[in-house]
Amino acid sequence: MHSLDAFAQEKLDALDGRHLRRSLTETLREDGIWVARDGRRLLSFSCNDYLNLTQHPAVKAAAAEALAKYGAGSGASRLVTGNHPLYAALEDRLARIKHAEAAVVFGSGYLANAGIIPVLIGTDGLIVIDELAHACLYAGAQLSRGKVLTFRHNDVAHARELLETYRGAHDRALIVTDGVFSMDGDLAPLDELLALGEAHDAWLMSDDAHGLGVVGGGRGSSFSGNTHVPVPLQMGTLSKAIGAYGGYLCASAPVIELMRNRARTLVYSTGLPPAIVAGAIAALDVIEREPDYAALPVKKAKAFTHVVGLPEAESPIVPILIGTEADALAASEMLAKEGFLAAAIRPPTVPAGTARLRLTFTAQHPDDEIARLAGLVRERILS
């Protein structure tokens, strides 16, 4: 066997042996909640389409209209000829929603994080990052080539300790966290992290991929407390509750202008297709127009946690911690036999020993099905 193929096969065999091999399963999403998979029709609790806006008639119509008018792709990087007129409209909307001076849209959330962090932090810089922050925040941190230190999850005292010890030796510093943690569903203490950052001249960056549209009245996690927390770097994605695709940063005008000049994943990557941008704008319209609808996913997640006896949900994401990879896969399969799609999440997406089912609640999940799922989780998984 060629050494390249032998290398690949050996890696795959090792993953198999540890129940960590993943596969792409063809999934047909029929509407916002039902999917067809492996010949079965399943009610999905594993999509991030929290408001089911991927299927909203107004969102689809806006995308179709832009497709007809501007074509299928943008044709170039935004800095060359890919900056079609819909971008400015979307960026104005995002800045307004987030109470920021300006916004810039990237090709995806992953690209945003991989681009933003290296613009702000170089080899002499310091990044203090929550241990459970999303993989693409770590990717951005590593690309910066600065010193990366991890603090225990949501442990502000630990982050303070790190800054007290290391901040002095670095020219610039960044505190990095998810706003809503993607695999745990809890919220970051943004107010405390902001105060910590101000005390140590460390800029706070939050990734609100799972907050926009569904927490804080639809504005995201920095709006979820009694007072708005003015996080200076609010990153997020348009691929979850917004039901489209793309990433963004909301910040001050000079920071956004710097990103447009220096973020390599923006400068050297093709702009989003016009239809996607138009769909995102229409989705934001729905969220602003219908706050009661936007509140439904968290309301349903809270109801589920009450019935099952888990800590009250803070977001639409509810983890069911299981432990081993094999047990998490078995629980997922049990639920599939009962008509539910609840994907098993395994390391390295989550820490070793914490394989889980990650349930996501959406506005249109029927309450009787949520009650049936709660019964199964309580009696057949947690008992």
Distance CA 106, CA 113 (A): 9
Q: Side by side, which strands form the sheet with 126-130?
A: 102-106, 247-251, 233-237, 203-207, 173-178, 126-130, 147-151
Sole binder of ligand PLP in the list 209, 251, 363, 370 (CB under 6 A):
209
By beta-carbon proximity to ligand PLP, the closer residue of 52 and 200 is: 52
How far apart are CB 240 and ligand PLP at their closest, in Å?
Answer: 7
54 scored as a contact of ligand PLP (CB under 6 A): no
- Residue 28: Cβ-neighbour burial (10 angstroms; 0-12, 13-18, 19+): exposed
Binding mask 252-271 for ligand PLP (x = CB under 6 A): --------------------
Under the criterion CB under 6 A, does residue 237 sit at the interface with ligand PLP? yes
Sign of CA dihedral 51, 56, 58, 60: positive
Return the range that interacts with ligand PLP (CB under 6 A); candidates 1-9, 141-149, 203-211, 344-352: 203-211
How many CA atoms, within 13 angstroms, populate the side-chain half-sphere of residue 209? Answer: 26
**Is residue 117 part of the contact set for ligand PLP (CB under 6 A)?**
no
Q: Which of residues 97-116 bind ligand PLP (CB under 6 A)?
A: 108-110
Counting contacts by CB under 6 A, is residue 222 touching ligand PLP? Answer: no
**Residue of 63, 86, 103, 136 that binds ligand PLP (CB under 6 A):** 136
CA nearest 251: which of 208, 213, 285?
208
**116 versus 173: smaller Cβ distance to ligand PLP:** 116
User: Can you tell me which of 182, 332, 354, 360 binds ligand PLP, judged by CB under 6 A?
Assistant: 182
Strands, E assignment, the chain: 27-29, 34-37, 40-44, 102-106, 126-130, 147-151, 173-178, 203-207, 233-237, 247-251, 317-323, 340-341, 344-345, 355-360
Q: From the CB of 338, what's the least distance to ligand PLP, in Å?
A: 27
- Give contact residues for ligand PLP (rule: CB under 6 A): 108-110, 134, 136, 178, 182, 207, 209-210, 237, 239, 247
